[in-house]
Chains A and B, each alone.
Chain A
């Protein structure tokens, strides 16, 4: 039955709520999916929430997880209760300190949302590879499987660590458990007080390092004693499992929930048993229960305490009847004879046999397999496949389940029709866009049903990888009993499709059960909808006997003053037709929920939502379903011209069917083709910019600022216009140097544009008679789509201007082809225009090392890749190593390019007799300072390759492979401020000091954008960010000044909205400088909290107010006695406050704590003025 009292949150909140109350110091650093635990702790601390003992835990954000681990080690050594939250790469960074903490027998619990480690690719999703990398540290590894267990085992871990002195790593599955909302019983302070022994806390406090009772730790030990001393702690590890079991027993008495180190579920006389850890255990139990009901003898052994491993407890839990065991590991250790859990079980059973404990058992067959890597779904059908596998006489070891491995044939066949029906459970699936509020509405629905009725609620949300126009899929279940089904809804009785554009693109009805009710937001009346469906959709509707309702929600939303937010409307319709609650009761509850949710946002919002609720039902219609399908077949997703890989692989992923791709579809080493984003055609803009040639002054600014490279310009010979589609716009090219008859066009890619409108806002050309109209104007996409698609296709075929003829004006940089296009960045992104410009300037010889963060996500998050190639097949080569090491990684890329060039030059010299003196002199001595000379060198390299074909020498073959490196490569490290100012600063500093020709572009949004706006050392004084909820009280680090201190580093501070020209000059100078360069680029961001349409004017205000000075520090200038530093912005003409007032990150503090905000902004003003004075002096000083 539903627990009482109950809470409905995700496991992150359930765990943080326990960990916070049992800690005194908390050191944090954001990393997905653990970030919410750190955020909650910080918020609670700022709000003054107390721990169990009445103190407010201190929460300190560090520069990296390595830093957090160090701080924790100190806080623990000092004798205070401490905790942290992390995952994946962050956990890896903590490992060195984990060895220390465990080696020193320090009570400590860290809570880990188990997440994949980056290998062939990064994955933010869940598996146990991070946790398993900590097996050797000496930490106890304790696994929980759902929100209830996560809260419970968190408390048990905190209690057991104090008693055992063994530190604990408590983990639960990233996303599947950490982010799944579920109904559970929270633990109150009385319970925690009963569980945690006060005397042990005091003992721990007393053991802390203190000059009043001094001791020394961290000694260096020599061969005479290290070994023995290392073994001295054995009794503690031996005792730990017993202590955990004792605590579990006490906990069981207090709550009725008795956990064991190994819990067995299933037939008491099971023959086939699955051993598993984490959320998959719940799925396995559901499947075993169904199989056993049909007469099978199966069971599930759930491992909770993996380390220290207790053989006794394991054997006690394992039924004596077992004949075959499959051990499921959610990790992969390539080259190992088995994965970690399997190996431990092998050793356990061998030891048991050797000690005679297996005598009364049958001979056992033990195999191991892998499942669920990177949050791959794990369903009851997969569990059955594993049990079926055990029926074999000799089941193969090393299998996989959940994928189709058509290369090494290790995967098990899964009977997809095997489903577990959850009795009395109502399941629903909702498809929405991130921006339409679907997820928020569903969270609200969970509250209404989960809190307002006797039902339990479960919800899991799936997001796609895009930051703009992202699709969200919400999986909701409701029922009278706790719902521990940690896999997606398989048969939904209700499907909500909140966007018409999804129809035909994705299989929207795949989750629909027979007779399901489907609610569709469609821009057509109920009588027209059927005819608009592709035939395939009609057929499914008929086959599944679907009851279809439709509403045109956007006009209803607009009418109610809700703009584009259709969430309340769709939610009301769900309640009106799903039958999950009585309609009237539901509407009343929705209104109450609205009142509660929005009361603090103001009455206006509440009333608008009320109006939306009232209008919803009136506009909801049931669709009469005809007897047969008569629609047109869905058009092909991609044109036939798309490359083979895109057709075979990318297209399948784009359709949301990536799970079906077999192993053979994929590159073996994570190397992925570029230039695939152009096939995606997302069509997410409701309005697109259209060009008016008559008004245009041909400045190129629109293309310059376009974040997605969807506005482009070309100048071309008028002859190229032959065959232009009707309505293709072209005008005379206004350039003195252009030959007569040169034409000019600005064209939008209508299906790739996100509709952000930055281009229109930035356009300086206005119609004199009607200044509202500019040379580029937003117009509804749908009516112009067909025409503009044809225009775009024609535009793409127009010849490109000759690159060497192009200068560095704004317009001429934009006449260069961008080699970074249609990324998944936010609409209006402030970072991507810089990257796009970089590719326009040096794209065909660009090597990018990209720090993890927004730029690695929109730069390399599949399904598609935005970096692309020119007509010669050249383009940026891009790789993401890690978050913390990007400067070093780029340095390595530089070393590689230099080495290859060095070898090539040496070989050219070796082959001089064959190549000819003159040619060798030319190719080795060629300058490559501009496009023309680079082109000349490319031609020489081609000539060299031709010559080498005729040279019969081993050196010739080697040289042929390296010859391209005789053309200079441009190596850039790109990343955000989280990397450059914080986690990667040490490496960045080292690279700056190295003298090597590495260029560093910092896309400075002044917060950790990708993980949701946490404070970095770049966050300005007085701005509110997560982890700085009370406003940042310390000034922004002056990274440029630090770099200038080296003297030989090129440094520039740029802002596209303030001076495009200066950005171009800075990037060009940085590239041409034969040493380290640092370009810090102001990047507006959604985390600043304003309409990004004004991003560029706000950038300008940042400069005009002195917040963001523009400068270039070029050591080459200092050689002639001139100052190296040149200030490119004038003395501030606006107050900092004018800039700050426009952004919610500042306003939050102005309005919640005006006095503090004033004080911080006054300090920021003073600092900006001081810095200006200092820079002015520096700009006048002799270099």
Chain B
């Protein structure tokens, strides 16, 4: 069965790629992912905060003590080149690029058009094939309005586009007033793809210490439904490619995502839980099902259940809620 797909202009033998996670954190793991048959791999993110905080922290807690006491001009060797975060990440990308042949996608996570966007250029220099930009912003005041935040996002994308010519995917959260419109703007600004959706660290509460503590649980198939809705809504409207991430654990999950319109499927939780062998397993099961159902190729199924092609697109509309409620009343 022909499972070939194209994502961000990259020709992939099948849609299963390793999503941004610890699975890309060492060269050995990246090699193992390739050996397990991954079509591509997205690296864990280099965070804007990681870049900026390291720099300003270094300033505040190391350099602030320099040049202030007669007996010590500073407390760390002036000759040591301080590498913080970005350099380590870049070095890792370069090493992985040398170690494997599969397409590699770097990931940057940030929201403000600051100096950190310059790292995109350095990322490009490591030889990776594409860049995934993870846009997530938590508004903190009642003065920030949606259009402002979207404009900021667009500016960030523009800055990155200025910096590099690598295919750029934008990883989004589901919380946009009008996702179709925003994706259109991204496309106009040069994005080659979007990734639906980001999953966030959620703050939990430690009852003993009265501290908030960030937590992240692995996904399960129930999270897929939200993605199916938006894949289906977006498919067929744009030139850019669309990846699905979050909630793909089984053959059926994968098939549904493709039918809703996904060009690529990013796997993380299922690989962390069941191991890298799951890539091959899913690939095989999907191929088997398509053959059994007499599909010609995976492409034939792509978008078949999207808003444009589904036999009952109204299920994707608001009416959906009303009908279900009414049916219960009846």
Contacts and interface: CB of A to CB of B under 8 A. Distances in A.
A599 B26 CA distance: 27
Contact of B114 (A39, A437, A604, A1092): A604
A437 B56 CA distance: 14
A472 B72 contact: no
B115 A1013 contact: no
Contacts of A1086: 61, 65, 75
A35 B64 CA distance: 20
Nearest to A1145: B76
A605 interface: yes
A32 B88 CA distance: 36
A1167 to B, nearest CB: 24
Interface string A602-623: 1111111000000000000000
Interface stretch (A158-166, A570-578, A1148-1156): A1148-1156
A561 B77 CA distance: 26
Interface in B82-100: 82-88
Nearest to A1151: B83
B158 interface: no
A1091 interface: yes
B275 interface: no
Interface in B65-120: 65-88, 114-116, 118-119
A780 interface: no
A651 B84 CA distance: 46
Contacts of B66: 440
B330 interface: no
A1147 B62 CA distance: 13
A718 interface: no
B68 A439 contact: yes
Nearest to A32: B71
Nearest to A600: B81
Nearest to A472: B68
B57 interface: yes
A462 B78 CA distance: 21
A446 to B, nearest CB: 13
Interface stretch (B47-55, B265-273, B284-292, B312-320): B47-55
B61 to A, nearest CB: 5
A440 B80 contact: no
B76 A565 contact: no
Interface in A419-451: 433-435, 437-440, 443
Contact of B71 (A124, A435, A601, A1152): A124
A43 interface: yes
A33 B70 CA distance: 9
B88 to A, nearest CB: 5
A730 interface: no
Interface residues of B, number: 44
B60 A563 contact: yes
Contact of A1151 (B61, B63, B84, B114): B84
Contacts of A43: 77-80
A554 interface: no
B118 A472 contact: no
A563 B82 contact: no
Interface in B109-154: 114-116, 118-119
Contact of A1013 (B72, B114, B119, B211): B72
Contact of A1026 (B65, B76, B210): B76
A175 interface: yes
A97 to B, nearest CB: 25
A524 interface: no
B59 interface: yes
Nearest to B66: A440
A667 B152 CA distance: 68
B10 interface: no
Contacts of A44: 79
A771 B72 CA distance: 40
B56 A1029 contact: no
Contacts of A472: 67-68
A1089 B62 contact: yes
Contacts of A1152: 80-81, 83
A798 interface: no
Contact of B68 (A433, A1029, A1147): A433
Nearest to B70: A463
Interface string B238-269: 00000000000000000000000000000000
Interface in A1001-1044: 1009-1013, 1024, 1026, 1029
Contacts of B78: 43
Contacts of B211: 771
B56 A1089 contact: no
Nearest to B72: A1012
Interface in A14-59: 32-33, 35-36, 39, 43-44, 46-47
B77 A602 contact: no
Nearest to B52: A604
A272 B147 CA distance: 84
Nearest to B71: A32
A32 B70 contact: yes
A1087 B75 contact: yes
A1151 B87 contact: yes
Nearest to B91: A1154
B58 interface: yes
A1011 B80 contact: no
Contacts of B51: 602, 604
Contacts of A47: 79
A435 B82 contact: no
B73 A36 contact: yes
Contacts of B115: 602-608
Interface in B213-239: none
A1144 B83 contact: no
Contacts of B61: 1086, 1089-1092, 1144
A434 B68 contact: yes
Contacts of A1009: 75
B58 A1144 contact: yes
A602 B56 CA distance: 10
Given A604-B56, A1024-B80, A1086-B65, A1011 B72 contact: yes
A152 to B, nearest CB: 24
A461 B67 CA distance: 9
Contacts of B68: 433-435, 439, 463, 467, 470, 472
Contacts of B75: 1009, 1012-1013, 1086-1087, 1089
A33 B76 CA distance: 17
Given A124-B71, A1086-B75, A1144 B80 contact: no
A766 interface: yes
Interface string B277-316: 0000000000000000000000000000000000000000
B118 A603 contact: yes
Contact of B116 (A437, A603, A1087, A1148): A603
B69 A467 contact: yes
A1151 B119 CA distance: 17
Nearest to A439: B67
A602 B71 contact: no
B69 A434 contact: yes
B204 to A, nearest CB: 15
A1148 B76 contact: yes
B113 to A, nearest CB: 10
A1024 B83 contact: no
A803 B64 CA distance: 41
A439 B59 CA distance: 15
Contacts of B81: 600, 1152
Contacts of B69: 434, 463, 467, 470
Interface of B: 51-52, 54-88, 114-116, 118-119, 210-211
6 contacts: A35-B72, A434-B65, A604-B115, A1012-B73, A1024-B76, A1144-B58
Give the top 5 A-B pairs by smallest Cβ distance, nearest first.
A434-B68, A1012-B72, A603-B115, A439-B67, A43-B79
Given A766-B210, A1091-B61, 11 more contacts: A44-B79, A175-B70, A440-B67, A463-B70, A602-B55, A602-B86, A605-B115, A1024-B77, A1086-B75, A1148-B80, A1151-B87
